[in-house]
Structure 1
């Protein structure tokens, strides 16, 4: 068994202790003093000057792996967008890093989290000493400082999918004010055994279904749960995932959010990262058939590992053979069981409400969007953005309306983010 039974608080204490060590501060590209909140906000246009403190903050398992150095660096190399990394500093100590890049959306320059298009959990990188509900005492003053620093670089700051409460802690940016996102994320707490874990669910029904699927697969010649280890296996499975997902999106009448070469390069870059057992940006699992259909990959899933937290990034299925076994769901059982045996504490299915998530999860997390206008155009864009968020929330609360819109969307091209929300891991 892996050394993940080590209490998560021990990891946090080690990070706190290391954070107290003096370090040489890099020179920012711009800075503004937020006198009200008693810290200096700095802006960096490159990642490299922040490498040391970035690596330190990412070790805290309460910070999202999506904001870790490797995840962000792979995106920056693939996309090449302008960066605006915000660093909060007080008395020589880093309080937080917000890794942002800037892209144009309908003529508006929007500063968002790096790789936001494919993030399932956004927290920023927050120092343990700063993770308190009263860390920012004046949200309006902070927003004004952010706007001053981003002036000339962006029109709007839009931080999406922020959990205001996460694993017993409160996000320090809650006082700024945010609007509830129409999506939620879904989790399954993991216990000492698979039996104890599925007791949270309809254990008898789920166990029976798994055994029926297993018998059907055995009747076809058997199966193998594989985890890509070599560079060749990783590249092969990732490219196969892209193929399977493209076919799935086409069948649903949705655009393929993985289709462009830059996005594919981003994920391939993650597969080349040197990792340890507690911090893995992307690990590929697959269900491979044996017997008559030897070698056929029926399902693929990509997981990220961060401390005792497992986060599902994506999944795909190929039902050419063994369609009646629900290979994607069967692979989830195998992966969750492996995570239980290896001592992980939380299996996270990520953002978006799909039936398979609801069937597996006993916990859910509300998400919010924080939007700060930088200039007059940003104020207009914020009004539009808030209207869009509230409209989506209204639609999702009214199932008949939601189903009718889904039927209409099947006959036209939907926005990329919406297609990801609806079919992220189907």
Structure 2
């Protein structure tokens, strides 16, 4: 690892430390920081989300750049902040793109990552002053040719620790929703699902079985299962988006490469080991038909829901296969020893029905250069507009027909 730190051919190190004593290194090559990154994320004291795992970020880049290493190196910046004594405090991977002539850095993953928090080496590292982290990022940005950082989806708190980047920020348009898992899977299900909800789901599952035959909850553990579950997901989502008149974001080949890589990042040796993303399904035992799917980013202690789908056939949808699958999924994740479970950003009835925690999200905009000030001002203004719309049910109802005609009306203009 010492050799990695000393290899300045792989990094441009800022020559001047921030007043806080933080020193920034900026890398463009994932391989150059792999050992360092994996060492930090495997430490029991690490504080981070599944979306900043090395394997998750690698999978996203593999999808976005399709093996074009030159283009990836042009866009990728991996910022490592150390204290003056040398220990790493945080890692922040960003993608840089020119927007209206200005170089803007955003966290790797975009809207596919529910949380954009840096990977903190420890809780002590997360206790850094927000001003010191921002100052160090500004210095790193100036050295790397970045005009502005636009860092959305920053949890205000994570696993009980404050996120220093959220100290001076704007509320996000939407929050995320989660719950704590217990060591006993059945006890966790009883706590999360009321007696009435459990009874209704048992009745629906029984009626589904009567209609189609035995069904089973399965987490993909073979390449064939991964392929079958993903194909079902793509088919079900395409049907859903077509009905809404919205462009299907999962039709993109880059997104499909990313998901395939993330689910099978290390080759499937076991159900969960070595994966960045897990996908599960409610499957017919007789014919293998997939009635619902759910996929999420994972680390040792958390499952973070990324996407879900269900069969749009009205004769089957009335049995709520997605809700049946969700009940099984919660029990399975508790049984795997994970402590946290979340259903990602945005409001939905199925989230409210089981989640008892609101994960407050913030948006952080950091200007680096004079040109960057205009970008961050625009990001703040646009964020306030989105927040006003999304948190006003009347405005949402009025804009829903327009959103169906113009996909992405509530998304970032970039």
TM-score bracket for this pair, using the shorter chain length: 0.7 to 0.9
2:169 aligned residue: 178
* 1:215-250 Cα deviation digits (max 9, x unpaired): 211211221112211112212221321222122112
1:68 aligned residue: 53
Matched, 1:163 2:155: yes
Deviation at 1:194, TM superposition (A): 4.9
2:247 aligned residue: 255
Deviation at 1:334, TM superposition (A): 0.9
Partner Cα separation in structure 2 for residue 384 and residue 416 of structure 1: 15
Distance change in 2, residues 1:181/1:47 (3 Å): same
Partner Cα separation in structure 1 for residue 341 and residue 350 of structure 2: 14
Deviation at 1:106, TM superposition (A): 4.9
Q: TM-score, normalised by structure 1?
A: 0.85
Instruction: Indicate the SS of the match to 1:182.
Output: coil
Distance change in 2, residues 1:273/1:202 (3 Å): closer
Matched, 1:49 2:32: yes
Q: Is there any run of 5+ residues in structure 2 with no aligned partner, and where?
A: 66-71
Instruction: Indicate the SS of the match to 1:353.
Output: coil
Partner Cα separation in structure 1 for residue 191 and residue 396 of structure 2: 29
Partner Cα separation in structure 2 for residue 139 and residue 69 of structure 1: 21
Partner Cα separation in structure 1 for residue 123 and residue 177 of structure 2: 28
* 1:339-377 Cα deviation digits (max 9, x unpaired): 223332221111111111111101111011111123233
Distance change in 2, residues 1:341/1:138 (3 Å): closer
Alignment match of 2:230 (pick from 210, 221, 238): 238
2:205 aligned residue: 214
Deviation at 1:310, TM superposition (A): 1.2
Partner Cα separation in structure 1 for residue 82 and residue 133 of structure 2: 16
Task: State whether residues 134 and 366 of structure 2, in contact with CA within 8 Å, keep that contact through their aligned partners in structure 1.
Answer: no
Task: State whether residues 150 and 379 of structure 2, in contact with CA within 8 Å, keep that contact through their aligned partners in structure 1.
Answer: no
Deviation at 1:104, TM superposition (A): 3.7
Q: TM-score, normalised by structure 2?
A: 0.87
Matched, 1:353 2:347: yes
2:393 aligned residue: 399
2:361 aligned residue: 367
Partner Cα separation in structure 1 for residue 104 and residue 82 of structure 2: 24
1:344 aligned residue: 338
Deviation at 1:144, TM superposition (A): 3.8
Alignment of 1:327-338 (within 5 A): 327-338=321-332
* 1:245-296 Cα deviation digits (max 9, x unpaired): 12211212222112221121111111222277566311211111256xx332
1:112 aligned residue: 106
Alignment match of 1:78 (pick from 49, 52, 63): 63
Partner Cα separation in structure 2 for residue 338 and residue 202 of structure 1: 14
Task: State whether residues 257 and 416 of structure 1, in contact with CA within 8 Å, keep that contact through their aligned partners in structure 2.
Answer: no
Alignment of 1:305-344 (within 5 A): 305-320=298-313, 321-344=315-338
Q: Is there any run of 5+ residues in structure 1 with no aligned partner, and where?
A: 1-20, 420-426
* 1:52-107 Cα deviation digits (max 9, x unpaired): 11101222563122111111122222323411111112222211111111124455
Number of corresponding residues: 394
Instruction: Indicate the SS of the match to 1:87.
Output: strand
Task: State whether residues 279 and 305 of structure 1, in contact with CA within 8 Å, keep that contact through their aligned partners in structure 2.
Answer: no
Deviation at 1:23, TM superposition (A): 6.2
Alignment match of 1:302 (pick from 295, 300, 303): 295
Task: State whether residues 81 and 88 of structure 2, in contact with CA within 8 Å, keep that contact through their aligned partners in structure 1.
Answer: yes
Partner Cα separation in structure 2 for residue 249 and residue 365 of structure 1: 27
* 1:107-145 Cα deviation digits (max 9, x unpaired): 543211112231012221211164343445546633542
Partner Cα separation in structure 2 for residue 48 and residue 192 of structure 1: 36
Task: State whether residues 289 and 297 of structure 1, in contact with CA within 8 Å, keep that contact through their aligned partners in structure 2.
Answer: yes
Partner Cα separation in structure 2 for residue 245 and residue 256 of structure 1: 7
Partner Cα separation in structure 2 for residue 391 and residue 24 of structure 1: 44
